[in-house]
Amino acid sequence: MARKFFVGGNFKMNGTISSIKDIVQNLNKADLDPNTETVIAPPALYLLLVREHVKKEIGVAAQNVFDKANGAFTGEISASQLKDSNIDWAILGHSERRTILNESDETVASKTKFATENGVSVIWCCGESLEVREAGKTLEVIASQLAALKAKISDWSKIVIAYEPIWAIGTGKVASTEQAQEVHASIREWLSKNVSQSVADETRILYGGSVSEKNCKELSKEKDIDGFLVGGASLKPAFVDIINSKL
């Protein structure tokens, strides 16, 4: 069974009511590829605004979710609160959360377990720093991130993996098509060896790292690149071109 192409837009800590309404309006009126699953992730403050106004075919994701049920956890959002608000996705393990906020592989895995077990699908991010890339340890680091995830979960059906080379996020640098495909293929091979062949075949693996309307078509042709997790470009009209990169 073919994996459905997937494009996520991570707005990060950007946007105002006005600018986000403009983004939503642009997506609503655009002719989007119906064979591509599209999910956008505004800041938490604007989740309800986006879900209320964006067309139902477009999914909405939180940029974080806690690994506990409701309770005395100031500043956090629970999976049940997301579900109550018709938010069906969360981005977890993004390099900015791992590096700036010191979220460990185990913390990310715990959040992913709790989210997926409580009805929230997860865009689970992994990736390596420039130092790791130059030391030739990219696959080793990503394998350890995957191993931490495998230790916590058994159902992979609600997980989309996003490979994001940290050195290519917001820098304008992009992994070459060959570099991206190599890592994607190694992730799929790891899933095959350590989880199951069916999970390896069915799990979508996205590329993230300065994806733009200029490079998306070439990247989308690779057999193990099943879509994109887009940062800055998701705030621009060109996001539509990335969603339609398979057309």
* Catalytic (active site) residue 184: no
Give dist(CA 229, CA 61) in Å, integer: 12
Annotated active-site residue 94? The verdict is: yes
Q: Which of 37, 96, 164, 213 is catalytic?
A: 164
**In angstroms, rounded to a whole number, what is the distance separating the alpha carbons of residues 80 and 219?**
36
Angle between helices 138-150 and 177-194 (to 10 degrees): 40
Task: Give the Cβ contact number of residue 139 at 10 Å.
Answer: 16
Number of C-beta neighbours around residue 217 at 10 A: 14
Distance of CA 131 to CAs 12, 24, 94, 102, 104, Å?
A: 24, 38, 18, 18, 18
Q: How far apart are CA 51 and CA 86, in angstroms?
A: 7
Best CA proximity match to 154, nearest among 108, 97, 194, 106: 194
Active-site residue, from 37, 94, 103, 184: 94
Taking each helix axis as running N to C, give the angle between helix 138-150 and helix 105-117, from 0 to 180 degrees, rounded to the nearest 10. Answer: 40
| Strand pairing class (121-126; 159-163) | parallel
Please give the positions annotated as active site: 94, 164
